[in-house]
Chain A
Amino acid sequence: MSGWETIIGLEIHAQLATRSKIFSGSATAYGAPPNAQANLVDLGYPGVLPVLNGEAVRMAVKLGLAIEARIAPTSVFARKNYFYPDLPKGYQISQYELPIVAGGALDIVLEDGKVKRVGITRAHLEEDAGKSLHEGLPGVTGVDLNRAGTPLVEIVSEPDLRSAKEAVAYMKKVHTLVRYLEICDGNMQEGSFRCDANVSVRKAGATKLGTRAEIKNLNSFRFVERAINYEVARQIDLLEGGGEVVQETRLYDPDKGETRSMRSKEEANDYRYFPDPDLLPVALDAAFIESVRATLPELPDQKAARFGSQYGLSAYDAGVLTASRELADYYEAVVRAAPADAKLAANWVMGELAAALNKESLEVTATRMTAERLAGLLKRICDQTISGKLAKEVFEAMWSGGADADAVIAERGLKQITDSAAIERAIDEVFSKNPGQLAEYRAGKDKLFGFFVGQVMKATGGKANPAQLNELLRKKLGG
């Protein structure tokens, strides 16, 4: 692929976490029986009219403020006209010429640790469409309009992304942000957060953009990466073979790992946008915008910077721990309860805890290993009651059973031996049992030092304080 440059822009669709729909009082809850949450407005009945949900507007403004964009004093809803069974009115209410949010940016961290600023062209409010179902319906398609009218914010990036990895990093960043802002639950399996990727390639050094293809409806980070990589390779192959890229909509097939043309959506793409006469311009004054600003939480980047300065964490660790608000809150609760070593806390949260959660597919908020319990364990490491190695055994016992650190340590007798006399006794015993090795060591076979450490540890059930053991052993062998 050398000699080619990849250009990617993402259009991320985030469902806003409102209780009711953007233009009707229907519930937005996921998983209701078909059409149970589709009222007359959602069904596009004759004579009905849309009324805008104020919370959807607040959420869009919140996003705009978080990406330091301009909040439009006046934004306008427009109709995007096309026929499709999941689009009951024959048009989607969206924003076109005057979106509510314009001109923001987000920073992403690249693999080499460099920070890249990704421009966000605009973010606009619109209504989601319903769903078409095919399974178990021979020869027909079933239409469920429960999702129709769910508020979406569409976040359109500049074509600033240069690889699938960058695209994923950006999408993850947006995902983190919308959950911090509590404007989207981020549930990708349920379709609450998904994106379309505009992908093109050009010869390295060229200034003109190549023809792009739009890959629709990517609903996992993995699919985004694979779909883009496939598409880039496809386009380069085409161009290197003397062909041309056609501007079109494509669909990613995760089973085959390829993208293919979506001709059904190509038939009529003259959307005939015009301002929706059923809705008035949305006018937002400074007081409204400031009232939204007052609800902004500490944002991911701000939190990561604070974790760096307050807890002495590396940028990488701070980034991992602030990837979700829940994880960051958990970490801070651990540090509050066991303040002696914030770095140790970070290692445990990112290491043992994350692995255990991952293994059982648990959210950090759902674990019985509460921050207080984990802090109880860390305190025993800090005060040298147990060694780091044994702490892992304690953690496992705490995870599978219900007991706290102290109880596990007491029950299993894992308390570390820090009494020098006791350690010395154990060393002497090992020496007397292994006179041959002792003689070899003294004759110059230094490597046997490890052997003695192991034997003493074995004799003490691993409980000897390693630092003390080393020191005493060296003294006795050297003496």
Chain B
Amino acid sequence: MSELHHIGLAGAAAGLRARRFSSVELAETFLKRIERNQETLNAFISVTRAQALSDAAAADRALAAGDGGALTGVPIAHKDLFCTRGVRTTCGSCILDNFVSPYDATVVAKLKHAGAVMLGKTNMDEFAMGSSNETSYYGTVRNPWDPRLVPGGSSGGSAAAVAARLVPGATATDTGGSIRQPAALCGITGLKPTYGRVSRYGMVAFASSLDQGGVLTVSAADAALMLREMAGFDPNDSTSVEREVPDYVALLGEPIAGLRVGLLKEFFDKGLDPGNERRVREALKVFESLGARLTEVSLPNLPLSVPVYYVVAPAECSSNLARFDGVRYGHRCEQPRDLQDLYRRSRGEGFGAEVKRRIMTGTYVLSAGYYDAYYLKAQRVRQLISADFTRAFASVDVLIGPTTPTPAFAIGAKTADPITMYLNDIYTIGANLAGLPAVSVPCGFVGKLPVGLQIVGPHFSEARLLTAAHAYQRATDWHTQVPEGYA
């Protein structure tokens, strides 16, 4: 059973049902890997060993009795911004260091209901604000392909954990690329669903009109299974959509011959690393060989997506993070002189530098005299970008391009200038602004570092994206590559 950690999410579910191994064995295998690699990778903020083993034992009893759901006994991890009842939920922030959630996020409850066993909570950029995992209060996560490099962010802990086979699947969230970019940098599969497909209830908000929960897994097939179990309408989230969840797993085998693929002209720009471009163009050849028809399309307003994002996301974040005031939960400064001192010091001490930067940016763009020029203007340009996508999807089924401009970069390389860091999300932000689903799959290497291929579809086309990604993964083996030392 030495290879148990390579089993994958769907493989684990099938193996458990066939009783080839027990949930306790599986949990123990992964827990040991988590603990052994924690110092090197720093992928987890909390490991819930005792609870995991007890849940796994319960899963084994259910399986023995012939009960259980689609994921009974399957180990997973949650990004530490999903609220987990009775378990510390930090969002990677000092301000929530001592926060124990009294409730489960809908995603957490749904995966629990499906039988999944949580092993722990993964590290992340503070409040999901970052593209490198360097803003976490709990320290930087390291890339399993090279510990000197970042894993991407903000879901860097989840991505590193899946890439290093510390867990077969993990939840993640994506506000501007926080699932797809670390998936690309860590060489795994990451799916950001359509806005409203997955409930945001219990996901600590960063930018409410952009945030969407999703999955990080080894393969598209695993992503299909996990998404099917966590998606769906939630009466607690007014922005979740009342729409049936297709059986993504059953639809995986659909042929993709005739799929109309749009090559996004704006994605092949001067910022794109030539190595990355080569891998992406090779992947497009694979799609052609599978029967896809390629055409070039242009989204003229897309280059403005990063400026739009850095107005809208900070604006929403400045308001969303106002609740962290040291009164009802979270960090409170010592000996406040008065109420204003309580607010200013609790927040000043509790938030890290990048979070403060974004709160201030957002405060500024919403303030009297600047609202029209920044916030309203950005929301108008957002409409233009969204319209560009709608126009493109009139003639193509999916858009394909790179996930990131470059492979993983060195820890510390982009911390001096926020703009340089922000530009890392240049290809991913558009999907968030328009609420579109998008998946990143590994498509080869530049040197020893993995490269991600991004597929974007119209609203609620997750099945199409997963089918295309799955077809690609049946024709290639990039997603099965494991970083050295984690085999």
In the bound complex, CA of A83 to CA of B201 (Å)? 24
> In the complex, are the beta carbons of B319 and A270 less than 8 A apart?
no
Collect the chain A residues with CB atoms within 8 Å of residue B82's CB.
47
> In the complex, are the beta carbons of B363 and A272 less than 8 A apart?
yes
> In the complex, are the beta carbons of A47 and B105 less than 8 A apart?
yes
From B15-23, B95-103, B418-426, B451-459, the one touching the partner chain is: B95-103
Collect the chain B residues with CB atoms within 8 Å of residue A47's CB.
81-83, 101, 105, 200-205
In the bound complex, CA of A155 to CA of B203 (Å)? 35
> In the complex, are the beta carbons of B239 and A43 less than 8 A apart?
no
Q: Mark B221-248, 1 if CB is under 8 A from A, else 0.
A: 0000000000000011111000000000
In the bound complex, CA of A85 to CA of B81 (Å)? 25
* Contact residues of B between 42 and 99, Cβ < 8 Å to A: 81-83, 89, 91, 96, 99
A85 with B327: in contact, given A47-B105, A51-B235, A277-B208 (CB under 8 Å)?
A: yes
User: Smallest CB–CB gap between A270 and chain B, Å?
Assistant: 5
In the bound complex, CA of A81 to CA of B323 (Å)? 10
Collect the chain A residues with CB atoms within 8 Å of residue B237's CB.
49, 51
Q: Is B328 interfacial (CB 8 A cutoff)? A: yes
> In the complex, are the beta carbons of B315 and A46 less than 8 A apart?
no
> In the complex, are the beta carbons of A279 and B325 less than 8 A apart?
no
Q: Is A288 interfacial (CB 8 A cutoff)? A: no
> In the complex, are the beta carbons of B322 and A89 less than 8 A apart?
yes
Collect the chain B residues with CB atoms within 8 Å of residue A280's CB.
238-239
| Among B89, B239, B319, contact of A272 (Cβ-Cβ < 8 Å) | B319
User: Smallest CB–CB gap between B108 and chain A, Å?
Assistant: 10
Q: Mark A286-300, 1 if CB is under 8 A from B, else 0.
A: 000000000000000
Q: Is A348 interfacial (CB 8 A cutoff)? A: no
Collect the chain B residues with CB atoms within 8 Å of residue A48's CB.
201-202, 236
| Among A44, A51, A85, A91, contact of B339 (Cβ-Cβ < 8 Å) | A85
* Contact residues of A between 263 and 297, Cβ < 8 Å to B: 267, 270, 272-274, 277-280
From B3-11, B285-293, B365-373, B470-478, the one touching the partner chain is: B365-373
> In the complex, are the beta carbons of A81 and B322 less than 8 A apart?
yes
Q: Is A50 interfacial (CB 8 A cutoff)? A: yes
A91 with B202: in contact, given A51-B235, A274-B315 (CB under 8 Å)?
A: no
Q: How many A-B residue pairs have CB under 8 A?
A: 101
Collect the chain B residues with CB atoms within 8 Å of residue A45's CB.
101-103, 323, 328-329
| Among B89, B236, B375, contact of A49 (Cβ-Cβ < 8 Å) | B236
A46 with B200: in contact, given A90-B323, A91-B322, A278-B239 (CB under 8 Å)?
A: no
Q: Mark A394-419, 1 if CB is under 8 A from B, else 0.
A: 00000000000000000000000000
In the bound complex, CA of A474 to CA of B360 (Å)? 96
| Nearest residue, chain B, Cβ from A143 | B327
Q: Is A119 interfacial (CB 8 A cutoff)? A: no
Collect the chain B residues with CB atoms within 8 Å of residue A105's CB.
none
A44 with B316: in contact, given A49-B201, A272-B363 (CB under 8 Å)?
A: no
> In the complex, are the beta carbons of A46 and B319 less than 8 A apart?
no
> In the complex, are the beta carbons of B83 and A279 less than 8 A apart?
no
Q: What total of chain B residues lie within 8 Å of the partner, measured CB to CB?
A: 46
Q: Is B343 interfacial (CB 8 A cutoff)? A: yes
Q: Is A459 interfacial (CB 8 A cutoff)? A: no
| Among B91, B209, B235, B323, contact of A277 (Cβ-Cβ < 8 Å) | B209
> In the complex, are the beta carbons of B102 and A40 less than 8 A apart?
yes
> In the complex, are the beta carbons of B319 and A274 less than 8 A apart?
yes
> In the complex, are the beta carbons of B315 and A40 less than 8 A apart?
no
> In the complex, are the beta carbons of A278 and B96 less than 8 A apart?
no
A274 with B201: in contact, given A44-B328, A81-B319, A83-B343 (CB under 8 Å)?
A: no
User: Smallest CB–CB gap between B371 and chain A, Å?
Assistant: 7
User: Smallest CB–CB gap between B344 and chain A, Å?
Assistant: 10
In the bound complex, CA of A273 to CA of B372 (Å)? 11
A49 with B200: in contact, given A40-B103, A270-B367 (CB under 8 Å)?
A: yes
> In the complex, are the beta carbons of A91 and B319 less than 8 A apart?
yes
Q: Is A88 interfacial (CB 8 A cutoff)? A: yes
User: Smallest CB–CB gap between B351 and chain A, Å?
Assistant: 13
Collect the chain B residues with CB atoms within 8 Å of residue A40's CB.
102-103
Q: Is A122 interfacial (CB 8 A cutoff)? A: no
In the bound complex, CA of A278 to CA of B210 (Å)? 11
Q: Mark A121-164, 1 if CB is under 8 A from B, else 0.
A: 00000000000000000000101000000000000000000000
| Nearest residue, chain B, Cβ from A267 | B340
Collect the chain B residues with CB atoms within 8 Å of residue A90's CB.
319, 321-323, 325
* Contact residues of A between 75 and 101, Cβ < 8 Å to B: 79, 81, 83, 85, 88-91
In the bound complex, CA of A459 to CA of B298 (Å)? 111
> In the complex, are the beta carbons of B322 and A274 less than 8 A apart?
no
Q: Mark A37-66, 1 if CB is under 8 A from B, else 0.
A: 000100111111111100000000000000
Collect the chain B residues with CB atoms within 8 Å of residue A51's CB.
235-238
In the bound complex, CA of A272 to CA of B366 (Å)? 5
A52 with B238: in contact, given A44-B323, A44-B328, A89-B322 (CB under 8 Å)?
A: yes
> In the complex, are the beta carbons of B323 and A88 less than 8 A apart?
yes
Collect the chain B residues with CB atoms within 8 Å of residue A49's CB.
200-201, 236-239
In the bound complex, CA of A88 to CA of B96 (Å)? 16
> In the complex, are the beta carbons of A270 and B339 less than 8 A apart?
no
In the bound complex, CA of A46 to CA of B343 (Å)? 17
In the bound complex, CA of A91 to CA of B325 (Å)? 12
4 smallest CB-CB distances across A and B, nearest first, come from: A90-B322, A272-B366, A277-B208, A277-B209
Question: Footprint of A on B, CB under 8 Å?
Answer: 81-83, 89, 91, 96, 99, 101-103, 105, 200-205, 207-209, 235-239, 315-316, 318-319, 321-325, 327-329, 339-340, 343, 363, 366-368, 371, 375
Can you show 9 pairs from A to B with CB atoms below 8 A apart? A44-B323, A45-B103, A48-B202, A49-B236, A49-B237, A52-B238, A83-B322, A85-B339, A278-B208
5 extra A-B contacts, CB within 8 A, seeds A45-B328, A48-B202: A46-B323, A46-B324, A49-B236, A52-B238, A274-B319
